[in-house]
Amino acid sequence: MIEDNFNERPKHNSRIESVNFLKEQIVKAEKLGNDDYVNKLEEILRIINNKKYGLVWEEHSEKVKEEMKSKIPVFVEDKSKQINDDKGSEQYNFLLEGDNLHSLHLLEKTHEGKIDFIYIDPPYNTGNKDFKYNDKFIDDSDNFKHSKWLSFMEHRLSIARKLLSDNGVIFISIDNREGYQLKLLLDEIFGENHFAADLHVETSAVAGPRRYAAIKGSVVKTTEFVFAYTKGSNKIMKRLLYDGIKGFDTHYSKFEKEDDGTLISLSDRIKEDPKLVQQFTNAGLKVDMPSLNKLVQVNPIIKNWIHSDSISKHIFRVGDKLNVLDDDKKSMIKADKVTKIGERYTTLNKKGKPIVLFRYFERLGYSDDYSPEYGERTIRGNLWKGFSADGGNLSSEGGVKLKNGKKPIRLIKQLIKSSTCKSSKPVTILDFFAGSGTTGESVMELNSEQEGKYNFILATNDEVIDTTFQRMKNISKRYPFNLKYFKTSFVDKSDFPGTSLEDELIEYVAPLVELEFGVDVSNPGIQIILEEEQLDDLLNENKIVQNSTIFIVPDVFLDNNQKIKLMNLNVTINEIPNYFFGKDMWS
């Protein structure tokens, strides 16, 4: 246990000592009349006291980080909380209990460069008992509340960057209290050129107390940030998302007649159909584009007609001139007719010049809104609207309650879906501020919808772990999956002098093997070999099965007889890497 007199501000004290030392040297130099030396020392003092460009904060030490200097974090499995509901799969997901800095330290051994997607929803540092630093809640009266939060985040985000694959992406939810500081911190850790997005997510509406505040003159906050960073390309959108558009875009005012391809006005096409005209008449409207926009929003007959494939493929909007066509292609284009050249639709304007046409059919599809509808839609940018509508379901999502910070499943699903490719290759998702476990449920829903092949690792502290685990049990009833539950524990270096420390740490290799490879070592097809005698016994007793996998520590050497036996059994051999605990033993 770290002592009660733990120093949170070592950098501050070191700086004070350095500044005082310089001041003493300046006084001595002045007494000696060494003006040149005085000037140089004063310049050094000025540089130390000057603020640099960018994020400046006083780094604070953290007990859980200092603890790792004398104690080595390890994982211990709680077998009573193992979930085995997917009988047809040997793949496991993982729930890690303990301080997430310790979990990240261990994940660095098993998953460096292997995580495809990270989502975190860290404490927002509201001052309302949502952020604890060194076992104390930080409130608004703490003069170092921002420095402590940034120190806390810097320790964890630095490891998170190492975990990301070259094509991986991390998303971080935050609001305006720490959002601007966090952006600068992320620029330092990931590099400004790896900034991918600052999403503005509409999380609440101007209603209730917010409406009252707005009436009184306040600008009410209705959005939060989601920052996105990468290690590689900042072009992260693998699958586009769409926002629905109400009504009808009246720029699409041209219609290609079905019989001869002649371009007429859309209004004239509607007038040719008495049933359609009757809908306008019943609504007291004349047949024109503004009236069509109104009717599409309220009249299902008009809406279904305009959105049908057979009609929408013949509706066009006039675009700009085409100046890049060669003479042969220009000769193909006829006035008042639609001509398709390559992937583009064209016609001639009144001056006989080629112009591009945009087809209405391409504007239609299902949206990714809270209530998806077929209709006009637009590609979503960094404004993610409408997630306040999900708020009404938050309390029931996952069958668990969480006082603060629960995020909508739809948000996490769309972040994952849009930034990962749909493929048969497994995609590993990490959330090290797992809270109520929304990320885990989002992953399983995406799997059930066949949007990809995902597995998850969730890490959270012991204060909310019961909530997280209960949610995992709840969702496994709907989407059966397998899960292992690990707790962080410690090996005190002082208890194991010399080589005995290595022997002790070997006992904790199994959870790391399971975590890295997503397997269960209790499976007869998986064996961990820690000693040569153990391998002999397993072979002699025929306990190594056909087509199995064994993991061997580097100190175990196979003789020719063992190699032949394993080869005949078609056994896959994996060496347990030294990096599991090597650094810990010698640091």
Structurally, how many domains does the chain consist of? 4
Using the predicted structure, report yes or no on whether residue 318 has a pLDDT greater than 90: yes
Domain identity same for 163 and 288 = no
245-272 pLDDT, tens digit each: 999 999 999 999 988 889 999 999 999 9
Domain identity same for 474 and 571 = no
Confidence of residue 11 (pLDDT cuts 50, 70, 90): low
For 431, phi then psi, to 5°, come to -135, 110
pLDDT value of position 266: 98
449-478 pLDDT, tens digit each: 988 899 999 999 888 889 999 999 999 999
- For residue 226, being part of any structural domain is answered with yes
Using the predicted structure, report yes or no on whether residue 370 has a pLDDT greater than 70: yes
pLDDT value of position 140: 86
pLDDT value of position 403: 66
Domain identity same for 432 and 552 = no
Domain identity same for 328 and 280 = yes
- For residue 371, being part of any structural domain is answered with no
- For residue 1, being part of any structural domain is answered with no
Q: What share of the chain is helix, strand, coil (3-state, %, to 5)?
A: 40, 20, 35
Domain identity same for 330 and 447 = no
pLDDT value of position 198: 98
For 382, phi then psi, to 5°, come to -95, 0
196-223: average pLDDT: 92
Using the predicted structure, report yes or no on whether residue 280 has a pLDDT greater than 60: yes
- For residue 96, being part of any structural domain is answered with yes
Please give, one letter per residue, the 3-state secondary structure of 134-174. CCEECCCCCCCHHHHHHHHHHHHHHHHHHHEEEEEEEEEEE
- For residue 372, being part of any structural domain is answered with no
Residues 6 or more apart in contact with residue 43 via CB below 8 angstroms:
none
Residues 6 or more apart in contact with residue 171 via CB below 8 angstroms:
117, 118, 119, 120, 199, 226, 227, 228, 415, 419
419-436: average pLDDT: 92
- For residue 121, being part of any structural domain is answered with yes
Please give, one letter per residue, the 3-state secondary structure of 97-119. ECCHHHHHHHHHHHHCCCEEEEE
Using the predicted structure, report yes or no on whether residue 8 has a pLDDT greater than 80: no
Measure CA of the first residue to CA of the last residue in the chain; give whole Å: 19
Distance of CA 187 to the CA centre of its chain: 17
Among the candidates 491, 509, 541, a domain finishes at 491
pLDDT value of position 298: 96
Lowest mean pLDDT among 52-56, 282-286, 494-498: 52-56
Average pLDDT, the chain: 90
Using the predicted structure, report yes or no on whether residue 512 has a pLDDT greater than 80: yes
Confidence of residue 7 (pLDDT cuts 50, 70, 90): low
| Domain assignment of residue 551, given as a range | 495-586
Give the angle 427-484-85 at the CA atoms, nearest 5°.
Answer: 85
Q: Which helix (H) or strand (E) element contains residue 347? A: strand 344-348
pLDDT value of position 186: 97
pLDDT value of position 1: 52
Using the predicted structure, report yes or no on whether residue 586 has a pLDDT greater than 70: no
pTM of the model: 0.86
Domain identity same for 500 and 463 = no
13-65 pLDDT, tens digit each: 677 788 888 888 888 888 888 888 888 888 888 777 765 667 777 788 899 99
508-530: average pLDDT: 91
Using the predicted structure, report yes or no on whether residue 326 has a pLDDT greater than 70: no
Domain identity same for 193 and 279 = no
- For residue 154, being part of any structural domain is answered with yes
Nearest CA to 86 out of 345, 404, 448 is that of 448
Confidence of residue 2 (pLDDT cuts 50, 70, 90): low
| 91, amino acid identity | Q
Among the candidates 366, 393, 412, a domain finishes at 366
- For residue 58, being part of any structural domain is answered with no
The answer to whether 164 and 158 have CB atoms below 8 angstroms apart is no
Domain identity same for 249 and 234 = no
Other C-beta atoms lying within 10 Å of the C-beta of residue 163: 23
103-131: average pLDDT: 92
- Report percent pLDDT > 90 for the chain: 59
For position 421, which CATH number holds?
A: 3.40.50.150
Here the tokens at position 324 are: 């890049």
Domain identity same for 231 and 95 = yes
Using the predicted structure, report yes or no on whether residue 327 has a pLDDT greater than 70: no
Domain identity same for 122 and 186 = yes
pLDDT value of position 201: 96
pLDDT value of position 5: 61
Domain identity same for 459 and 343 = no
Domain identity same for 252 and 153 = no
Between 425 and 486, residue with greater pLDDT? 486
Residue 546, classified by CB atoms within 10 Å of its CB into exposed (0-12), middle (13-18) or buried (19+), is exposed
pLDDT value of position 27: 87
